[in-house]
Chain A
């Protein structure tokens, strides 16, 4: 119900008529940040557990952690690019 009120308010604001699309893009970008944060947080957590168990493997673990984080961040940035396209091109 709150969402429908929110949507009505956004649609009513005098803009260039693309308010809903831009709002969708912004919510999408926020969700992407959430997803990337959860994913990379879990990687960091597992890496820290692993280093705690075996400190002398920390070099290898750190390398793999950075690689996995970069791959997930790449995926998050695909979605951010889509959101940016919507908010700047419309």
Chain B
């Protein structure tokens, strides 16, 4: 068991690329220098093909890639669907009227182009959704099959986690109406955790470190908060209890901006944590190529291993924090009236039985 754990630990330090700056061939001096910024951005950013590894030289070796479909809609030229290998094999990176410029698609004649391609991140998203659906269908089926008896297998591994989300996160933050929001909280928790972990494996896509993906998750939280808000929530925004009247022109704009800033902070926190972790690991591995010597590798791999272990913790922690804060924002929106609000002077006059004495 311990050996298995050790093997798993060292697997996480496998370099995800083997691009060696080549020596002795007739190339410009620029390509002799290893550019860590470019290499790191290639790994962290989205791409139109899924590049797993490069066997051998960067320019003469074989690139193990999976070409992904390019789906581009140009109002002037219609819908184009083709494999991205056609873009990469052509000299000018053009196919028909679509050209690849610095990683983004553009029209050859400058007309607008809308990119609906299945990129690396989209493919990873679909893959992780399929895996999550399979896992949770199995767990749900287990409950149906084993009515009343003890859980087995995958069910028994996930049940404590699901109960933890229900008891510690949902019930404590949302209160009596927690059951309506449990599907959403469980979905974002497992989705973010699974994608964080998946992004740490070699050759994977950096999905939860893509700000568009985290934007969508934060937008979902914002919409659920706004659509389940009751009048007390808006009362607290426009008349925070206990605030004197002359302070309201300052406090109310701050509160209104706060409605939007809270999901934005969710978005940036997840994006920055995951992307920064990937950049740190890649930087340590890039050190070996920068110094062009193999003696740096024990140090580099040791630090890389340590950071990878930290990233495992960060994967879980960031998923938990996103879920907890979403639950707290939803809880703030559905909260019922409290006596403490009355004592601070926030009284809408309808509850005379709770008069302060």
Count, chain B residues at interface, CB 8 A:
15
Q: Mark A51-79, 1 if CB is under 8 A from B, else 0.
A: 00000000000000011001101100110
Bound Cα distance A70, B269 (Å): 9
Q: Is the interface of B mostly helix, strand, loop or mixed?
A: helix
From DSSP, what is the main secondary structure of chain A's interface residues?
helix
Q: A73–B273 contact, CB under 8 A?
A: yes
In the assembled complex, B268 has its CB within 8 A of some CB on chain A: yes
Say if the beta carbon of A88 comes within 8 Å of chain B: yes
B221 at the A/B interface (Cβ < 8 Å)? no
Q: Which of A70, A80, A88 contacts B317 (CB 8 A)?
A: A70
- Chain A interface size, as a band, is 10 to 19
Cα A70 to Cα B323 in complex, Å, equals 13
Are A80 and B272 in touch, CB under 8 angstroms? yes
B272 touches A77 (CB 8 A): yes
Give the contacts of B321-337 with A (CB-CB under 8 A). 321, 324
The reply to whether A81 and B268 form a contact with Cβ atoms under 8 Å apart is yes
Q: Does B265 contact A (CB under 8 A)?
A: yes
What residues make up the interface of A, taking CB atoms closer than 8 Å to B?
66-67, 70-71, 73-74, 77-78, 80-81, 84, 88
Q: Which residues of B contact A (CB under 8 A)?
A: 37, 41, 265, 268-269, 271-273, 275-276, 279, 317-318, 321, 324
Task: Return 23 A-B CB contacts under 8 Å, by A number.
Answer: A67-B321, A70-B317, A70-B318, A70-B321, A71-B321, A73-B273, A74-B265, A74-B269, A74-B272, A74-B273, A74-B321, A77-B268, A77-B269, A77-B272, A78-B268, A78-B269, A78-B272, A80-B272, A80-B276, A81-B271, A81-B272, A81-B276, A84-B279
